[in-house]
Amino acid sequence: MGKMSLRDIDVAGKRVLIRVDFNVPLSEDGRVGDDTRIRRALPTIEYVVERGGKAVLMSHLGRPKGKVVPSMTLRPAAERLSQLLGRGVTMAPDSVGDSTEGVVARMRDGDIVLLENLRFHEGETKNEPDFARRLARMGDVYVNDAFGTAHRAHASTAGVTESIEPCAMGFLIENELANLSRATDSPESPYVAILGGAKVSDKIGVIQNLMPTVDVFLIGGGMAFTFLKAQGAAIGDSLVEDDRVETALSILNSAAETSTSLVLPTDVVVTEEIAAGAPSHTVDAHAIEPGWKGVDIGPATVKAFSEQIANARTIVWNGPLGVFETKPFDKGTVAVAHAVAEATDAGAVSIVGGGDSAAALVQSGLGGRVTHISTGGGASLAFLEGKPLPAVEALTDAPVGEETA
């Protein structure tokens, strides 16, 4: 059965406890550096306050590890949210406690309060029942709209649901699940999955879960070198997971026994030092000399990957194809971003995971030319692996006859 949606709840006059994901980067002057996650939460927040609900927002920021870290206050997020909404947002002194409960008790219909960083308390990540109950006291109903933490069973995402009813999805989570399902529920062929990033271990589950439906896997990034080593390639000083070489070989053999193609780089850009502007050149992916390390896919690989992408009707992309954060080793990732955007323009469905692959699209001005960019890298990976998402599982089942997530 699917899960209840915010649309199923009459929020008028109610305190709506909403888990949002305001884990945003802050600039040196303490301002929000990228407000994408705040903007993605606006539809849920606006829906609640426009219908006379009291929006009690809670989020984490960074990893303060149960201690109050002033630089990780959510106050900048409250200020940016207020600017985006054009209305006041009250910042609570803490996420729990008498003072914070007093702020919530004084709310009027249509008001918005943002609780302080949840992770200033150890009880959040440890999913301590008492901490979860203290959060639940500040809501009449609960809404989870933080997809980026949906794969975590924390107090604000799972524990709180044991002390409050009903518990529903916000519009961001609803949208994430609907779009990601397009990559797992009868996707249109040809289906191309682009996987990058540093580690094979992060993507094994995705490959194994999607292999029955994906037509072509395009493998880049650091993880490609573990596969190349499994083929007997000379990979120099490139990043490799030696304990995963046998697993990579098993995956290659499994693909060979099916109709699935697993395409590895044929050429790579190598350098002796990962630094901006460091000398580099392109070599055969199977012949990297000692002292050199692969840091990006080469032009022949870009061409081969782009041709596969151009023919796709469904595309999933998770992970950069090189050391994206260091120029000029971002060229392969940016080229693939353009290929994905062009395929989408031609009618393909494209689902892009969070992190650097999403950043490549946004920084290249292509963010609006894909079907969906996920706000949760870890959560989207877990979904594509076929794993349950604890924060979604904990929500109230949808009324009989309604189709939601």
Quote the DSSP letter at residue 189.
S
At 259, the pLDDT band (50, 70, 90 cuts) reads confident
Task: Give 273-302 pLDDT, tens digit per residue.
Answer: 999 989 999 999 999 999 999 999 999 999
Tokens at 316, concatenated: 């999933």
Q: Which helix (H) or strand (E) holds 195?
A: strand 191-195
- The Cβ of residue 275 has, within 10 Å, a number of other Cβ atoms equal to 11
Question: Which domains are delineated in the chain?
Answer: 6-173 (3.40.50.1260), 182-384 (3.40.50.1260)
pLDDT tens-digit profile of 118-127? 999 999 999 9
Percent of the chain with pLDDT over 70: 98
Residue 199 to residue 220: CA distance in whole angstroms: 10
pLDDT of 378 reads: 86
Q: Given this model, what pLDDT does residue 377 score?
A: 81
Residue range 4-18: average pLDDT?
97
> What distances in angstroms separate CA 52 from CA 13, 16, 109, 111, one per listed residue?
6, 10, 5, 8
pLDDT surpassing 80 at residue 214: yes
Q: How confident is the model at residue 29 (pLDDT cuts 50, 70, 90)?
A: confident
Q: How far apart are CA 138 and CA 324, in angstroms?
A: 42
Q: How confident is the model at residue 403 (pLDDT cuts 50, 70, 90)?
A: low
Rounded Cα distance between 153 and 23, Å, is 17
CB 94 within 8 A of CB 115: yes
Instruction: List CB contacts of 6: < 8 A, sequence separation 6 or more.
Output: 44, 47, 48, 143, 168, 169, 170, 171, 174
pLDDT value of residue 112? 98
Residue 351: strand pairing partners = 316, 372
Grouping H, G, I as helix, E, B as strand and the rest as coil, residue 271 is strand
The pLDDT tens digits for 328-357 are: 999 999 999 999 999 999 999 999 986 778
Question: How confident is the model at residue 404, as a pLDDT?
Answer: 56
Query: φ and ψ at 14, to 5 degrees?
Result: -100, 150
Predicted confidence (pLDDT) per residue in 360-384, tens digit: 888 888 888 999 999 888 899 899 9
pTM: 0.90
Average pLDDT, stretch 190-213? Answer: 92
Token duo for residue 18: 């909403």
Contacts of 300 (CB under 8 A, 6+ apart): 266, 267
**Which of the residues are catalytic?**
37, 199, 355, 378
Check pLDDT > 60 for residue 111.
Answer: yes
